[in-house]
Structure formats: structure tokens, C-alpha cells
Amino acid sequence: MTEASLHPWQEGPAGLLRFARDTASSASQLNQLVAFLLLDVCVETTMRTFLSLPDGLVPTKVKYFERRKYSEGSFHDLIRGIEAACATQVESADLHYVKYYHALRNQLYHQGSGITIAADDVTRYAAVAGSLLRQLLGVDQEIKSPLPAGSSGVTAEQLSRLKKELPEHLDRFKELISALFETIEPKLVYPTTIKRLSIIGSNIEAVSFPQKLNDFRQLIESSVEDTEIKTWLLGLLSDDVEGDGEQVLRNSQFLMEAGKDHFGLYALIAGVFFLPVGDVRKDSVDRYDDISFLGSDDYSIMGIYTACVFFNDYITRAHGSAMPGVIPGIDRAIEVNEKLATTIKRLGALTQA
């Protein structure tokens, strides 16, 4: 579909992308920052528009009123809605980049001064925004590839090492984090507990949320022995679904979904109590604030672990024999793999102490 024939609901997101690209054409650091923020608005607008359009206007497998609930939620609700509602699967790399760059946008908002945006990140986010605009709203704008062949600067040797190291690092991380919890919270390592965590964290919907939340609270009460850890976890969870604010409910769902992969939940707890990233510790996490930033590799070892899981699956499944520069985000994969290697050293020192 050409820009001249855009429908009214397509014009807003398409215009934001066009404006962001025009702004990014200047090498000015300020323009790069403005372009990046515009792209984040473009991505959010694209997802919200898709989820709020009437049945028949977009390819979806979820009825309007269910999609509408997602469209009125937070940024992370939008992503969950897209994953649930799309008739065809949205490219997983796109949604991973959306989460990563939105977390970077939050970092800009919260920390502000001194943080800059690289031109490559603007280019990549523009490519992701264009891809989502095409997949969700049917608008096909010409966008530069986020990583044209050869542009990443990654050699075949680096790619080969990454494909070998990443699964090894993930196995070692799981081994060490399990050993830690066998010592500090052995009940969380029980197979029955792991199964319950997975059930609770999977397919959380409005109708199942209250019961799953109650099950999760009971599991924490019965399985966590350390009073400080138990109090921290329960303090972040809603204890009144009808009376608690929306952010507390979202935080509760974030924690419940973290348990779907028990290694992720272990990493979340270990990160804030024993292995903080930067100054993110248990006392800096409040139930009334958005705690989903803990899913970012910039803020927690949970984020490092989950990012590495994604890239390991992505590279293995979709690009097993691709050349280095053809794989979108290969340099990001190398970066988080290095973070995981550092985390393993820290975790090893902790378990030996």
C-alpha cells in the first residue's frame, strides 16, 4: 500500500515513522535522541492501533473486545496482546528489539542526563518500527535493513565462538543458580514446585488472574524459608485484586510470569539480593512502580539470562548457517553473552563463599 492510499488509522503511525527517519537524517546527537523517542511512540501507536481496530480491518484471531483490553494497558500489555492476537506470528526478533529499545527509552526518561543514543540503534529501531507497521497495519515503507550484510563488524570466527559459548554459558548459569537455591531456598528447587510455577506463569488471563495470584502467594508462603526474601516477594504482590491499583496488578503478573521459567525467577531473586546490576537492589524496587525494568539486561541478571535464552534460540532455530552480518542483532547477542560470562563468574564466587 502506497502512502497516497493510506487509511486514516494508518496515517498516524506511518507519519511518525517518516518524521523519525527525517529527523534521524541529521548527525546531531539531539536529533538522534528525538528520532529514537519518536520511533518508540511510533511502535506503541502501531501496536495500540492494531489492537483497537474493529474485527475485519486487521488479520487477527482474537475478537475486538478482548483485543481492546490489551490496547488500554501498559506497553508490556500491548506486546502480550500482539503475541496473543496476531493471525500470523510476528517476527520474534522484532518484539525482542521492541522490549529492549523500550527499556532503553525508560532509562532515558528516568536517568536522563549523560545518556546518548547511537545512530546504529536509531537505524535498527526504525527497521523494527517499519517491520511492525507492515506486519500489523499493512503499510510497507522502504526501510534500511537494521544490519546490512557485513555492517555489524562481526567476523565468522566471532559468530562461531558465540554459537559454541552461548549454550555452554546458559547451561553453566543454570547449574550454578540451581546450586545456589538448593542451599538458600531448597523448596523452590523441588520438581513439584517448578511444575506449579510453570502452570501459574502460563496463559494468565483476566478470568484466571485472581486464582493464579492466590496460588502464587500460597506457593511463596509455603516454599520460601528466608523471611526477608518472602516478605519482599509478597510485598510486591497484590493482596486485593479489586482494591489494588493497576500497577500493582501488573507487577504481580510480571512476577508470576517470571516463574514460568524457574531459572528466571531464581535469577530475579538472586539479582536483587546477592548479585545486583548497578544500584538495582531490593530496596530500590517498589510495588507501586513499574518493576518490569527488571527484565532488562541493563538492570538485572534475570534480564541477562532471558536475553541470552532468546538469542540462543533465535540463532539456532532461524539462522544456523547464516553469515555473521545477515543475522539481525548478532552484535547484541555477543554483548549479552559477555554479560552472562561475567555473571557466571560472580555467581561462582558467591556459591563458593
Sorted by where each begins, the domain ranges of the chain are 3-137, 156-352
Q: Which of 33, 195, 196, 176 is nearest to 116 (CA)?
A: 33
> Grid coordinates representing 237?
504482590
> Residue 353 has what pLDDT?
64
86-114 pLDDT, tens per residue? 867 777 678 888 888 887 787 776 555 55
> Residue 114 has what pLDDT?
55
State yes or no: pLDDT of 2 exceeds 50.
Answer: no
Task: Give the bridge partners for 86, in sequence order.
Answer: 60
109-158 pLDDT, tens per residue? 655 555 678 888 898 899 899 989 988 988 876 544 443 333 455 677 88
232-274 pLDDT, tens per residue? 999 999 998 989 988 899 899 999 999 999 999 999 999 999 9
> Grid coordinates representing 320?
544456523
30-56 pLDDT, tens per residue? 888 889 999 999 999 999 999 988 877
> Residue 28 has what pLDDT?
84
Confidence of residue 170 (pLDDT cuts 50, 70, 90): very high
Q: Which of 95, 99, 125, 100 is nearest to 33 (CA)?
A: 125
Q: Compute CA 88 distance to the chain's CA centroid, rounded to the nearest angstrom.
A: 20
As a whole number of angstroms, the distance between CA 221 and CA 196 comes to 14
Question: Is the Cβ–Cβ distance between 154 and 160 less than 8 Å?
Answer: no
Is the torsion defined by CA of 253, 259, 264, 268 positive or negative? positive
